[in-house]
Structure 1
Amino acid sequence: MPHGRFSGTLTSPKVDLFVDLGNPFLNLTLDGFLKIGTVAAGKVAAEEVYHVAKRGSVSSHNFENSLKKMCKEGAYWGTIAGVYVGMEYGVERIRGTRDWKNAMIGGALAGAVISATSSNSRDKIVMDAITGGAVATAAEFINYLT
């Protein structure tokens, strides 16, 4: 019985924008903001294209709302990424080592800081810190696997 096999590699496109702010902490934070903010804006753009295709038409009002939503989501997720990357880098500098624990601590600190800015209760801040640490640690372990 004949059979076939797929062989090859799949690589993602690489786009780098280098902005030197004179400080590695600021450079990494801005890089995280721009990369994740762009992904979030792209996600919203894809959702809006789907809605336009479903409706069959686009108006200037809908287009304006779509742009506002893209900017808002991009800024929100970019800020979260920037805070996380900055925290992880700070922890790495303080500890003097580079391992998964930096991701866990950085994620927990970022989760707590972002939650505290929303004036959440103490329990919610602790839960968000735990979630941030868990998600960052899981992402770091996944990166080790690839």
Structure 2
Amino acid sequence: MPSSSFAGSFSTPKLNVAIDTGNPFLNVTVDGFLKIGTVAATKSLAEEAYHIVKGGNFSTPKMKHALKKMCKEGAYWGTVAGLYVGMEYGMERVRGTRDWKNAMLGGALTGALISAATNKDKDKIVIDAIAGGAIATASTFINCVI
């Protein structure tokens, strides 16, 4: 019985942009902002392009709205990511060790700070801190398993 097989590999292109501010804390924060901000902006662009094509309306106001949403999403998620990466790095430097606890504390502080900046409800801030810590910790554990 004839059979065939395919052998090969697939690799994704890598693009690293390094901005050296002279401070390691700022370097990781800016790096996190740029990487996640770019992903969020690209996601927003894809969503808006879908809605524009689906609606068949290629007007200038639609394009301006898409650009504004792209910038807003990129800035928001970039800020959250930059803050988290900076907090995690700070925890590593303060504690003198690199483990999952840095992710938990960095996520909790990031969740609390972002929540405090957007609302005044103390219970919501605590819940967001718990969620941030849990998500960051789970992400770290998943990265270790994979």
| TM-score, with structure 2 as normaliser | 0.92
Partners of 1:11 and 1:122 lie apart in 2 by 46
Which one is further off, 118-127 or 33-42?
118-127
Amino acid at match of 1:67: L
Deviation at 1:59, TM superposition (A): 0.6
Deviations 1:31-65 (A, max 9, x none): 00000000000000000111122112311110011
Cα distance change of structure 1 residues 97 and 68 upon mapping to structure 2, 3 Å threshold = same
Question: Alignment length, in residue pairs?
Answer: 146
Percent identity at matched positions? 64
Once the two structures are TM-superposed, the CA of residue 8 in structure 1 deviates from its matched residue by 5.1
Task: Structure 2: state its 5+ residue gaps.
Answer: none
Equivalent-residue separation in structure 2 for 1:3 and 1:70 (angstroms): 49
1:75 maps to: 75
Aligned amino acid, residue 137 of structure 2: T
Give every structure 1 segment of 4 or more consecutive aligned residues whose post-TM-superposition deviation is greater than 4 Å.
1-10
Aligned twin of 1:112: 112
5 Å matches for 1:78-97? 78-97=78-97
Aligned to 2:46: 46
**d(CA) in 2 for partners of 1:134 and 1:2?**
52
Displacement after TM superposition at 1:143 (Å):
1.2
Distance 1:134 1:119, change over 3 A: same
Structure 1 residue 128 displacement after superposition: 0.3
Q: How far apart are residue 3 of structure 1 and its match?
A: 7.6
CA distance in structure 1 between the partners assigned to 2:86 and 2:77 by the alignment: 14
CA distance in 2, matches of 1:3, 1:134: 48
Cα 1:143–1:9 shift into 2, 3 Å: farther
C-alpha deviation, 1:17, in angstroms? 0.7
The 1-side partners of 2:141 and 2:10 are apart by 21
In 1, distance between residues paired with 2:2 and 2:99? Answer: 47
Hey, what's the Cα distance between the residues in 1 that align with 2:2 and 2:127?
A: 54
Structure 1 residue 144 displacement after superposition: 1.0
Residue 144 of structure 2 is matched in structure 1 by 144
| Aligned-partner residue type, residue 17 of structure 1 | V
Following superposition, the deviation at residue 116 of structure 1 comes to: 1.0
Change in Cα spacing, 1:103 to 1:7, as seen in structure 2 (3 Å) is farther
Q: Distance in 1 between matches of 2:20 and 2:66?
A: 31
User: Where do 5+ consecutive residues of structure 1 fail to align?
Assistant: none
